Amino acid sequence: MNTHSQHLLLEFFDCDAQSLDNQALIEALMVDAANASGVSIVQKIFHTFSPQGVTGVVVIEESHLSIHTWPEAGYASVDFYTCGDASPENAIAIIQKGLQAKRFELLKVLRGQSLNQQSMLIAQHLSNGN
């Protein structure tokens, strides 16, 4: 069986602080992201921390999606880890728009194969205001 997987590590900066502390909004966004990526949800956990911040993990048949938010810093960290034919790139715009992130960075790591035989893609994106 093919162990090759895509792991997108995403850093969303300058997000809307209220959205980052809204567990219901974050959960809906991650479910939308999963659906847009063409993956199948197995189970999910979402948790709000005190005094603020949300963590969510969505276990999918193709591996997992996760989000951790720091509302006070306007920052969210998101991972899309998918094996098979999923299209996790489809989820990026959904998360960026939902969090109103002004910019984000992406690191793509190919898992299930030697890490030092690959070129890692680091990309920076600025919001176009849409």
Identity of residue 126:
L
Residue of the chain from 23, 35, 55, 127 that contacts a second copy (CB under 8 A): 55
Does 83 participate in catalysis according to the annotation? yes
CA distances from 53 to 3, 18, 20, 85 (A): 33, 10, 7, 32
Specify the long-range contacts of residues 41-44, CB closer than 8 Å, at least 24 apart: none
Q: Which of 26, 33, 64 is CA-nearest to residue 48?
A: 26
Residue of the chain from 18, 24, 87, 112 that contacts a second copy (CB under 8 A): 112
Nearer to a second copy, 50 or 130 (CB): 50
Q: How far apart (Å, rounded) are the C-alpha atoms in residues 57 and 111?
A: 19
Say which of 15, 19, 37, 83 is annotated catalytic. Answer: 83
Say which of 66, 68, 77, 127 is annotated catalytic. Answer: 68
Q: Which of 51, 76, 75 is CA-nearest to residue 66?
A: 76
3-state SS, residue 20: helix
Residue of the chain from 61, 87, 97, 126 that contacts a second copy (CB under 8 A): 61
Dig out the tokens for 95 from the structure.
């998360």
Rule CB under 8 A: is residue 11 a binding residue for a second copy?
yes
CB of 81 to a second copy, least distance (A): 7
Strand partners, 125: 104
Catalytic residue set: 63, 68, 83
Chain residues in the site for a second copy (CB under 8 A):
1, 3, 5, 7, 9, 11, 42-43, 45, 47, 49, 55, 57, 59, 61, 63-64, 66, 68, 70, 72-73, 75, 77, 79, 81, 83, 105, 107, 109, 111-112, 114-116, 120, 122, 124
